[in-house]
Structure 1
Amino acid sequence: MNPFQKRTAIRIAAVSIILAAIASPVSWFVARESAEESIVSLAIEESDRLLHHHNAIDLSGTDAAEHATVAARTIAGGLFDIAEIYDGKGRKLAESMNKGGEAVEKFLPHHGTPSYTAASYESLKIAGEPWVLRVFVPLRNSATDTNGLITGYFEGVRVVPAWQKEQMFASSLTAALMIGLASLLCGVAIYPVVIRLSADNERKAREVLDSHISMMEALGRAIAKRDSDTGAHNYRVAWIAARIAERMGLMGSAMQALIAGSFLHDVGKIGIPDAILLKPGKLDDAELVIMRTHVAQGEEIVTGMGWLDGANAVVAAHHEKWDGSGYPHKVSGETIPLAARIFAVADVFDALCSKRPYKEPMGFEAAMAILEKDTGSHFDPSVMTVFRTMAPEIFNRLANSTESDARQLLEDRVRQHFEM
């Protein structure tokens, strides 16, 4: 299992567990409420049947109290432990209770004269932990006519027996466990789908990234064909710049833009005539003006190319200097993009330490002396502070390296920072 798959599995498992943890108590509550309502519905139906049987619905006659008493006794011996019957004006006509009702009766909250118009119930926890359901039912001649005249009130109290509590507990627990298990199974089922989709997206992203990097290298090779010194230099200077940037904390798109810009910094030289680009001697003033146009031409090449837009910062400002004496815009200090300031150190260091057709490579001490002399004028002092500590390692690593060696070094950085 690779790191991505491991992270995905952990996240899906965490979400599944959280959903199970949320859904299970909810299902427990719903199942318990449903069980309570089932008990209450059954009790109401049974009490209604008995009240009708004993003519204790219409409680306005002279024998209403007698009928209510008989009905209350019958009901208190069945589904309810306490039965109370009131007439239409809320006056108590009868009350009956068994031993279970007697044990809890004194703990029940008192209420005023009944005046409710719809059946309801309340669930109560009494001292000693018995579970009590208290039912309130308005009586009408027709149980289905909710708008009919209320002829009386029935109130019943049921002490839920241990077996029924256990049954309700088991049903609620089963429902909660099923919901929790379903959440976990959904996570298990989703995992391979997510992995497959992610793998497809990753493959496509790699293909796009590969095409981008191939385009970058193709542009680099194109200018290298015209200027033989450019090929290995592009790889080396991009690698050096990436190493400095890593030490300075650059990452993500900023690092990717730096690498692309460093590699393509001289791409504008494609538009410089061979007579000037390949001239072995020193350029005259007119030729120098033309040579310097490679910066603007490079900007035009990379601008609007989507992924390569980030390279613009280095391509456009790699000849600017810290004190403002560079070109083409003569910007200075921190107005120069950080990527270009990092690149400037890497570019000059590599140029000094590399063999060129017109010069031998300079030694480390001599090259560093030039960089130190130009710190604060050409180079950003903060970049030099970082580079100074790593310069010996970089010099030794690149000494006598071939273009293939430099290409491999840069490829390692590309794979790291482009998440390949």
Structure 2
Amino acid sequence: MVRFWNRFTLLQRFTIASATIAVALAVVLSAATVQAIESFAVKDEAQVAAELVLRTIAPQLRPADFAGTLPRERRALLDALFRAHGVSDRALRIRLWRADRQLLYSNVPEPETLQRAGPDLSMPGLAVFTERRGRLENIAPDVIRFFVPVQVEGNPKPIAAFEILYDLTRLHQQLQHISRTVWTAVPLGFFVLYGSVFVLVRRASQQLLKQQAALIAAHLGTYQSLASAIDAKDSYTGDHSTNVADLAARVGRALKLSPEAVDDVRIGARLHDLGKIGVPDAILMKPGPLDPDELVIMRRHAERGFEILQKAPLSDGVKLAVRHSHERWDGKGYPAGLAGEAIPLIARIVAVVDAYEAMTSDRPYRKALPVKEALERLERDAGSHFDPRVARAFVQLTRKERDI
């Protein structure tokens, strides 16, 4: 997963991450807003109903009404009052309980057992709208229950309470339009905000990339000049680094590497001998084989090139290619004695191409080998000196290009 994520550019990572966050925030905020609106609307609806009961229904009750079950004419009066004020339209059930849990009134017939088994009005959840605030209980998805305490003058404690089961179906239908609006407006607002931020970040990123590219080009130009200076010291090798870079890039494409990886292959191959800038000319241009001491000095150029590039704005792949282009597949190379897949791929490509370029170039102590013989040697040393896959790809490519 991490490897897959690292394939994206910094701008692509920002786009994916910020888009995911924006969508999540839009969903959370939309849901929270809808829930808040619905909660406020339900509380307001219950508050209005409670106020209506307190102001218009409760004052019609007389002290004698709390002595026992209301007579038929008083029940008829309450029924009429509830209908007249619209409470019955949305109230599924309206009950009047005395403080001792005796049922005094219900707008629908109730079983005999319920008439003396009502709720305990001393419970905190039932003294609901005392001080104009209350707690709602959800009985069903579209039904709430709340209590409206009834007080008599001179007594601060409720002596009875209306229990109302309220139908929210019509309210929820009215809220659907608001919910759709919120679910449209909030994500749209986030989209506009995200789009504006993305445009600003993209412009800044493009500007930064241009500056970075200019910086890399400046550094690369300096290092390539050094590499050219090294090649110029030896009239026999001439454009060795340039030739190696061109061949290595073609091998990278033959191996189906990404364009970015092919660029790294080209740069790594171009700079693979950069460390030779610190090798004495007497050793670098010696017309014969090096003695053991000279060979130790020469082999230090791989580490020296890596050190020179340490602070350069180049990829790690390029820097490691410079350090390990003289490793062998069997682990007998230098400077670290790496073997097999442990050797960076770019370094393995450079090793094959560098050897081919050296074999097919004139040296003070020998003539250049024919291309056919050089390719045969690469095939022979594949699996010991060189990566077999890379060697095979280079040999096939060269034979195809030269029609051998």
Q: Which residue of 2 aligns with 1:34?
A: 40
Q: Against the structure 1 CA distance between its residues 280 and 349, is the aligned structure 2 distance closer, same or farther, given a 3 Å change threshold? A: same
Structure 1 residue 267: Cα displacement? 1.6
Please give the alpha-carbon distance, in whole angstroms, between the structure 1 residues aligned to 2:157 and 2:262.
82
What stretches of structure 2 of length at least 5 have no aligned partner? 1-8, 121-125, 129-133
Q: Is the 8 A contact 2:98 2:159 kept in 1?
A: yes
Q: Against the structure 1 CA distance between its residues 376 and 193, is the aligned structure 2 distance closer, same or farther, given a 3 Å change threshold? A: closer
Q: Which residue of 1 aligns with 2:321?
A: 314
Identity %: 30
**SS of 2:193 mapped into structure 1:** helix
**SS of 1:219 mapped into structure 2:** helix
Structure 1 residue 88: Cα displacement? 0.8
1:113 aligns with 2:101: no
What amino acid maps onto 2:373 in structure 1?
A
What amino acid maps onto 2:127 in structure 1?
T
What amino acid maps onto 1:117 in structure 2?
A
Structure 1 residue 181: Cα displacement? 3.2
Please give the alpha-carbon distance, in whole angstroms, between the structure 1 residues aligned to 2:10 and 2:316.
29
Please give the alpha-carbon distance, in whole angstroms, between the structure 2 residues aligned to 1:9 and 1:307.
25
Q: Against the structure 1 CA distance between its residues 190 and 176, is the aligned structure 2 distance closer, same or farther, given a 3 Å change threshold? A: same
1:151 aligns with 2:159: yes
How do residues 55-134 of structure 1 correspond to structure 2 at under 5 angstroms?
A: 55=61, 62=67, 65=70, 69=75, 70-71=77-78, 73-81=80-88, 82-96=93-107, 113-115=118-120, 116-118=126-128, 119-122=134-137, 132-134=143-145
> Which residue, out of 192, 204, 208, partners 1:185?
192
Q: Against the structure 1 CA distance between its residues 43 and 329, is the aligned structure 2 distance closer, same or farther, given a 3 Å change threshold? A: closer
Per-residue Cα deviation, 1:130-157 (whole angstroms, up to 9, x for no partner): x655433344569xx9xx6332111224
Per-residue Cα deviation, 1:64-103 (whole angstroms, up to 9, x for no partner): 9479744564234323214321111121112236xxxx9x
Structure 1 residue 37: Cα displacement? 1.9
**SS of 1:86 mapped into structure 2:** strand
Please give the alpha-carbon distance, in whole angstroms, between the structure 1 residues aligned to 2:312 and 2:184.
56
Which range moved further: 308-317 or 247-256? 247-256
Please give the alpha-carbon distance, in whole angstroms, between the structure 2 residues aligned to 1:90 and 1:160.
27
Please give the alpha-carbon distance, in whole angstroms, between the structure 2 residues aligned to 1:375 and 1:42.
89
Q: Is the 8 A contact 2:237 2:362 kept in 1?
A: no
Please give the alpha-carbon distance, in whole angstroms, between the structure 2 residues aligned to 1:43 and 1:203.
67
Q: Against the structure 1 CA distance between its residues 123 and 178, is the aligned structure 2 distance closer, same or farther, given a 3 Å change threshold? A: farther
Q: Is the 8 A contact 2:146 2:165 kept in 1?
A: yes
> Which residue, out of 45, 48, 70, partners 2:51?
45
Per-residue Cα deviation, 1:159-210 (whole angstroms, up to 9, x for no partner): 5685x66544334433443324323332343332232232233233323333
User: Aligned pairs, how many?
Assistant: 376
Q: Which residue of 2 aligns with 1:406?
A: none
Q: Which residue of 1 aligns with 2:394?
A: 387
Query: Which structure has the higher relative contact order (CA within 8 Å, separation 6+)?
Result: 1
Q: Which residue of 2 aligns with 1:378?
A: 385
What stretches of structure 1 of length at least 5 have no aligned partner? 397-420
